[in-house]
Structure 1
């Protein structure tokens, strides 16, 4: 005759129900974490009107070719609070320039600075209050947007070269 042992304790004192509950409970928590990560910030890489963006590429390339034909290039220095631009070539002396700082993935972190010409030192400069340490794409152009130079400021670096890349 076989003897079968009966457990007389309540179910929550047994290890098997708890071991069987681990995968579904883990899946619920991971799913909630993924849902929060997906909805926390909008995706900065998606362009709403991709057709217009595609058509604008030719215009941007023309502006960069024009900058190259003028022999424009420059060096941007960042000391933590100020951007200082030393230009090669001759853009309009005294005219303010626009420096756009583009974050690679988060459009809400982008910034636009107006660089003012300092005639005594022949540089353009602007102040910035807070700039997180990240890889920044730099776009430099005059107020009339007739030409454009591009560069990249890597994390931890303080000097970036801007030039025509078209």
Structure 2
């Protein structure tokens, strides 16, 4: 009565089915992408923020407030005006 086991068709090995490789490809690509990301992160580390970043920012703001660095429209309107008569830019 054990004929039932011998009458089942023998299937192909699992690696012969393309759908299996599609299922394996997703996680495999994620693993490869994570290693590439790790390699990029280790190869090009982020620069350290300067300890005096706040002071540098204040200096940049002072420089930008200079009348000579005003917006283009205001600068064009006062191109022939002497520096002493040029109004300060609005904030």
The alignment's TM-score, normalised by the length of structure 1, stands at: 0.27
Q: Which has the higher helix share?
A: 2
Relative contact order (alpha carbons < 8 A, sep ≥ 6): 1 or 2 greater? 1
Structure (1 or 2) with the larger CA radius of gyration: 2
